[in-house]
C-alpha cells in the first residue's frame, strides 16, 4: 500500500520532513500520522494541518504538490521508495542508507548530504553542497548513487568519501572540493577550481573552468577503467556513458593536499 501526502498549499514557514519516512511510520493510523510534528519552530505544526493524507504507511510514499519549504524529505531513509512531485527544500535524502528517492522537481542545498546508500534521483536542479557534509559532519556522501538531471550549485560532492554522483548538466565552482573518495561526473561544464584540496577520488568533467594549481598533467592514457565505468553508467543515460568513453586527459592532485585524487577532463 502506498501512503500519499498532498500539500494543501505552500506553507509560509519551513517544514521538517525528516520524521516522515517509511520505516518510522509503520503501524501508524491516519490520525496518528496527522498528529506528527513537522515543525521547525517553537510551536508544533501537525502534518495533517498541511497535508491531505491518504493510504496506509508501507514501503512506498508519494508526496504531491511539494514545494521548496519541505526540508529533509527522505532523510535517513533505510528502504522503500519515495516519489516527490514538485520541488523540495534543504537536505533531501540526507543520511539515507537505502531505498530510492525520486524528485520530479528541484532540490535545495545539501541534497544527498552524507548519503550512505540507496539512490537519489533529482530530475531538476540541485542546490549547493550536493552530497556534501552538513555543519559538524566530517564526511559527505560515503555510498549509494545520486543523479541530478539538471544543474548543481557550488561545491557538489564536498568531502565525499564514496559512491557515485552524476550531474547531467553543469556544476558550480569547486565541484569535488575536499573529495576523499568516490566518483563525481559533470556531463556539462564545471565551474572554476574543481577538485580543490582533493585527497583521493575521481572527477569526470566534460568541460571545466580553471583547475586549482595543485593538479599535474598526466597525459591522455587509454584506461580500461573508463570502459568498465561506461558499462556501469548505462542507467545514468547517454551523456554519462559518452563522457566515460571520451578521450580524457588525466590530472592528478591536489598536490596541496594528499594528491592521490584525479580529474579526467575531456581532451580537446
Which residues lie near another protein (CB under 8 A)? 143, 145, 162, 164, 181, 183, 200, 202, 221-225, 227-232, 260, 262
Cβ-based nearer residue to another protein, 56 or 239: 239
E strand or H helix at 31:
helix 30-35
Cβ-based nearer residue to another protein, 222 or 268: 222
Cβ-based nearer residue to another protein, 32 or 258: 258
Question: Does residue 171 contact residue 187 with C-beta atoms inside 8 Å?
Answer: no
| Least distance in angstroms from the C-beta of 222 to another protein | 6
Judging by DSSP bridges, how do beta strands 60-66 and 15-16 pair with one another? unpaired
Cβ-based nearer residue to another protein, 87 or 147: 147
| Least distance in angstroms from the C-beta of 148 to another protein | 18
Cβ-based nearer residue to another protein, 84 or 160: 160
Assigned C-alpha cell, 250: 588525466
**Residue that has been written with the C-alpha cell 549509494 in this structure:** 144
Cβ-based nearer residue to another protein, 161 or 170: 161
User: Dihedral (C-alpha) 107, 113, 117, 121: value to the nearest 10 degrees?
Assistant: 10
| Least distance in angstroms from the C-beta of 45 to another protein | 38
Q: What is the DSSP letter of 50?
A: H
- How far apart CA 14 and CA 5 sit, in angstroms, is 16
| Least distance in angstroms from the C-beta of 10 to another protein | 37
E strand or H helix at 60:
strand 60-66
| Least distance in angstroms from the C-beta of 5 to another protein | 30
- How far apart CA 250 and CA 264 sit, in angstroms, is 5
| Least distance in angstroms from the C-beta of 187 to another protein | 17
CB neighbourhood size of 19 (10 A): 14
Q: Which residues contact residue 193 at a Cβ distance below 8 angstroms, ignoring those fewer than 6 apart?
A: 173, 174, 177, 209, 210, 211, 212
Amino acid at each position: 500500500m502506498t501512503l500519499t501526502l498532498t500539500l494543501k498549499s505552500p506553507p509560509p514557514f519551513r517544514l521538517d520532513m525528516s520524521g516522515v519516512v517509511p520505516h518510522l511510520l509503520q503501524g501508524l493510523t491516519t490520525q496518528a500520522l496527522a498528529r506528527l510534528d513537522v515543525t521547525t519552530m517553537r510551536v508544533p505544526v501537525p502534518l495533517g494541518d498541511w497535508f491531505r493524507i491518504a493510504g496506509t504507511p508501507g514501503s512506498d510514499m508519494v508526496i504531491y504538490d511539494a514545494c521548496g519549504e519541505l526540508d529533509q524529505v527522505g532523510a535517513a531513509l533505510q528502504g522503500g521508495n519515495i516519489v516527490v512531485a514538485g520541488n523540495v527544500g534543504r537536505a533531501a535524502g540526507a543520511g539515507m542508507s537505502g531505498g530510492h528517492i525520486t524528485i520530479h522537481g528541484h532540490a535545495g542545498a545539501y541534497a544527498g548530504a552524507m548519503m550512505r546508500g540507496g539512490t537519489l534521483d533529482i530530475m531538476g536542479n540541485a542546490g549547493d553542497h550536493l552530497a556534501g557534509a552538513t555543519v559538524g559532519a566530517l564526511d559527505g556522501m560515503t555510498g549509494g548513487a545520486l543523479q541530478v538531471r539538471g544543474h548543481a550549485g557550488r561545491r557538489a560532492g564536498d568531502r565525499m568519501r564514496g559512491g557515485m554522483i552524476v550531474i547531467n548538466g553543469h556544476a558550480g565552482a569547486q565541484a569535488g572540493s575536499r573529495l576523499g573518495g568516490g566518483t563525481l561526473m559533470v556531463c556539462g561544464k564545471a565551474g572554476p577550481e574543481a577538485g580543490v584540496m582533493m585527497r583521493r577520488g575521481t572527477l569526470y568533467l566534460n568541460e571545466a573552468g580553471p583547475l586549482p594549481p595543485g593538479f599535474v598533467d598526466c597525459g591522455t592514457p587509454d584506461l580500461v577503467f573508463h570502459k568498465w565505468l561506461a558499462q556501469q553508467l548505462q542507467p545514468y543515460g547517454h551523456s554519462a556513458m559518452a563522457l566515460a568513453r571520451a578521450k580524457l586527459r588525466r590530472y592528478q592532485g591536489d598536490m596541496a593536499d594528499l594528491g592521490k585524487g584525479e580529474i579526467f577532463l575531456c581532451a580537446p
